[in-house]
Structure 1
């Protein structure tokens, strides 16, 4: 169920609302906090006692929140982060263990597929999602980072493809997205060793875009989100779609995807305005149409 938005006085750019996903008081603490400030939404994983491990409830809440935010025309960028000392320590193995013990069909249905659906949703999302990695990003948490469009990390952030250490492989898309993020050989080493690596190595590999002091993480993420949110939203969506659909295509197919995306945005009011503003040497005014 969605809570009606509450608005601050003034323009829509000062809009603020929280808890798009309404808490059920019979189910204990809310595992996800959703806050919208102007054109930027922040999704915060709030299971700090479990290092923000991704259990079935949290995955479900994330999916519901993403559905709601996609339909909110005023939200143009999303930040995903964690509370406490972890971004996310990965899948909630304790919760999924009974399904593992039941056998492959149950493990795939209740463990692998929900995680893959989440990361696929993030990967293909029509609005930019920025990971603000505030701490540990292990296993499924690292896979969430891999699926986001942009990632920034605190200097203290630590990453690991740790699944090998408990006898399984990455199950939320990591065997496929990590090589696409950082290259086959680097990904193979990390997946097969399960070793921990820091934020600077993650940046050098291409897993994250920027590393900054811990206290600068959220200001940096907000600055980046607001900068992107100021761009024409239909064009941002077209660019995200072309990148996502073209990443596995041969060059000719990728160029065809780019052409189709370009053709779709040419008739938009914002595209006409942007080109006209450039020619007339003035700032463009984008309205999202």
Structure 2
């Protein structure tokens, strides 16, 4: 983590901070409206991988330094990677877009995102690849890849239609238009809109509330929801009995029963 007041390198960086069981992940290149560079993507994958691998961490919160979430990719820095068909994130790590690329891990723990100001292209795709999004009321969204002669390949073509329906997805993907927080809420791209300046506090509040629940049950619930969306209800239902049996035998399940009987908040260990 950079010391407070330290200027990030010209190519930007990802700043991390641990708050109890929450990993705060900050996009840090405000001088360029947090335009993404290869270094930033590698460090983001490292942060997502750290979240999944550290048993003390239960939830991630992705946010941005400065006034804007991101203006999108710093295209000149990515052109050669695109032309060669290469990813900037090393294989074996958690891929932040979370759509199951070969050679990459998928995130298991929840991710909450706080967006503000400009949120273009990859910013939309990262928030759609997360679980819960809190938007400031001053957001400006645009999936403008077609305006640059390329295609959105970070998940927008999958998740916009999944969240908002085919027509709404086509409207925004094919016109590269700009829309605000109210439209993003209507389309289910974000779950909550807050006055600008309050979005990160609300995202943290939600993350901390999730972190207070039983970690094994949170992960199992999240993965079952994703299975239902991606593979259909029958695939999700098929896991119910074995998953519940595993969870019911955990220390956290025993603690949940004790807390219920004793009428007190549960103290979960993640075991």
Identify whether the pair has TM-score above 0.5, normalized to the shorter chain: yes
Tell me if 1:87 matches 2:64: no
Bigger drift between 156-165 and 88-97 goes to 88-97
Instruction: Tell me, in whole angstroms, the C-alpha distance in 2 between the residues paired with 1:68 and 1:282.
Output: 32
Instruction: Tell me, in whole angstroms, the C-alpha distance in 1 between the residues paired with 2:145 and 2:47.
Output: 27
Tell me if 1:181 matches 2:155: no
CA RMSD of aligned residues (A): 2.6
Q: In the alignment, which of 185, 189, 192 is matched to residue 207 of structure 1?
A: 189
* Aligned pairs for 1:98-137 within 5 A: 98-100=80-82, 103=83, 106=84, 108-110=85-87, 117-120=95-98, 124-137=106-119
Bigger drift between 116-125 and 221-230 goes to 116-125
**Conserved? CA contact 1:242–1:261, under 8 Å:** no
Query: Alignment partner of 2:69: what SS?
Result: strand
* Aligned pairs for 1:236-275 within 5 A: 236-275=218-257
Higher helix fraction (1 or 2): 1
Instruction: Tell me, in whole angstroms, the C-alpha distance in 1 between the residues paired with 2:156 and 2:89.
Output: 11
TM-score, normalisation: structure 1 = 0.82
Give CA-to-partner distance per residue, 1:73-123, whole Å, 9 cap, x none: 2221111011122212222212122445xx4xx0x2247999x94302799
Query: Alignment partner of 2:78: what SS?
Result: helix
Tell me what 1:51 maps to: 33
Instruction: Tell me, in whole angstroms, the C-alpha distance in 2 between the residues paired with 1:82 and 1:173.
Output: 20
**Conserved? CA contact 2:12–2:39, under 8 Å:** no
Tell me what 1:142 maps to: 124
Query: Alignment partner of 2:96: what SS?
Result: helix
Instruction: Tell me, in whole angstroms, the C-alpha distance in 2 between the residues paired with 1:190 and 1:113.
Output: 31
**Conserved? CA contact 2:252–2:269, under 8 Å:** yes
Q: Mind listing any 5+ residue stretches in structure 2 that lack a counterpart?
A: 3-7
Bigger drift between 248-257 and 210-219 goes to 248-257
Q: In the alignment, which of 137, 142, 147 is matched to residue 165 of structure 1?
A: 147
TM-score, normalisation: structure 2 = 0.87
Change (3 A) 1:259 1:179: farther
Instruction: Tell me, in whole angstroms, the C-alpha distance in 2 between the residues paired with 1:113 and 1:192.
Output: 31
Instruction: Tell me, in whole angstroms, the C-alpha distance in 1 between the residues paired with 2:45 and 2:78.
Output: 18
Change (3 A) 1:99 1:274: closer
Query: Alignment partner of 1:248: what SS?
Result: helix
Tell me if 1:285 matches 2:267: yes
Query: Alignment partner of 1:88: what SS?
Result: coil
1:67, distance to aligned residue in structure 2 (A):
1.7
* Aligned pairs for 1:58-69 within 5 A: 58-69=40-51
Instruction: Tell me, in whole angstroms, the C-alpha distance in 2 between the residues paired with 1:34 and 1:231.
Output: 23
1:260, distance to aligned residue in structure 2 (A):
3.5
1:181, distance to aligned residue in structure 2 (A):
2.3
Instruction: Tell me, in whole angstroms, the C-alpha distance in 2 between the residues paired with 1:127 and 1:112.
Output: 19
Query: Alignment partner of 1:32: what SS?
Result: strand
